[in-house]
C-alpha cells in the first residue's frame, strides 16, 4: 500500500527529471506553440506546490495496483496564454490505466502563470513525467 510519504518521495524524484523539448511548433489555428520561451510557464506557487498537487490528487488505479503495474509515463500539454491547460496527451505510455490517471490529474490542474516571449503571454508546450511505483 502506498503512503503519502512514498508518493511525495517519488514525485520529488519525478519532478527533478522534468523535461522540456526544444523546438517551435504550430497547432490547429490557435497560434504558435513554443517549446522554450523567455519566461517558462509556472504552476501557481512553484514546483513544490505542483508536487503537493500531484501527491494529493494522483490515485493509483486499483486494478493496476492489483496487477503490479508500474512505470513512468510522460504527459504533454499546452499552457495557454490565459494559463489554462489544453491538449493533454500521453507522449510516453506505460499502461492505459496509469496513462489515464496521469491525464486526469493534469486536466484537473488549476490555471498556471503563462509563459512569456518578448514580454507577452504565449502558448507553451510543457512535459511532465508521472512515476507510478508500488512498494
pLDDT by residue (tens digit) across 48-87? 999 899 889 999 999 999 999 999 999 999 999 999 999 9
CB count within 10 Å of CB 48 equals: 11
Indicate the pTM of the whole model.
0.78
> Rounded to an integer, what distance in angstroms lies between the CA atom of residue 15 and that of residue 134?
18
What lies within 8 Å, CB to CB, of 84 at 6+ separation is 111
| Between 94 and 7, the higher pLDDT residue | 94
Strands 25-27 and 31-34 turn out to be antiparallel
Identify how many contiguous H helices and E strands the chain contains and give both numbers.
4, 6
pLDDT range class, residue 26, cuts 50, 70, 90: very low
Banded pLDDT at 24 (limits 50, 70, 90): very low
Output the nine-digit C-alpha cell for 8.
511525495
The pLDDT of residue 54 is: 87
Q: What is the pLDDT of residue 72?
A: 94
Longest C-alpha distance within the chain, in Å? 50
Question: Residue 92: its pLDDT value, please?
Answer: 97
**What pLDDT is stored for residue 135 in this prediction?**
80
Residue whose C-alpha is closest to residue 58's, from 68, 72, 44: 72
pLDDT at 21 over 70: no
Alpha helix (H) residue ranges in the chain? 4-16, 47-57, 62-67, 96-107
Q: 124 φ, ψ to 5°?
A: -135, 135
Cα Rg for the chain, rounded, in angstroms?
Answer: 15
φ/ψ of 92, rounded to 5, equals: -140, 105
- State the chain's mean pLDDT as an integer: 84
Amino acid at each position: 500500500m502506498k503512503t503519502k510519504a512514498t508518493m511525495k518521495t517519488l514525485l520529488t524524484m519525478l519532478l527533478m527529471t522534468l523535461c522540456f523539448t526544444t523546438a517551435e511548433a504550430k497547432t490547429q489555428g490557435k497560434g504558435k506553440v513554443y517549446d522554450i520561451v523567455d519566461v517558462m510557464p509556472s504552476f501557481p506557487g512553484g514546483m513544490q506546490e505542483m508536487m503537493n498537487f500531484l501527491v494529493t490528487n494522483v490515485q493509483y488505479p486499483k486494478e493496476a495496483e492489483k496487477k503490479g503495474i508500474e512505470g513512468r509515463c510522460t504527459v504533454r500539454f499546452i499552457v495557454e496564454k490565459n494559463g489554462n491547460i489544453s491538449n493533454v496527451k500521453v507522449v510516453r505510455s506505460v499502461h492505459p490505466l496509469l496513462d489515464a490517471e496521469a491525464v486526469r490529474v493534469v486536466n484537473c490542474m488549476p490555471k498556471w502563470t503563462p509563459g512569456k516571449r518578448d514580454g507577452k503571454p504565449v502558448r507553451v508546450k510543457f512535459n511532465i513525467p508521472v512515476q507510478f511505483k508500488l512498494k
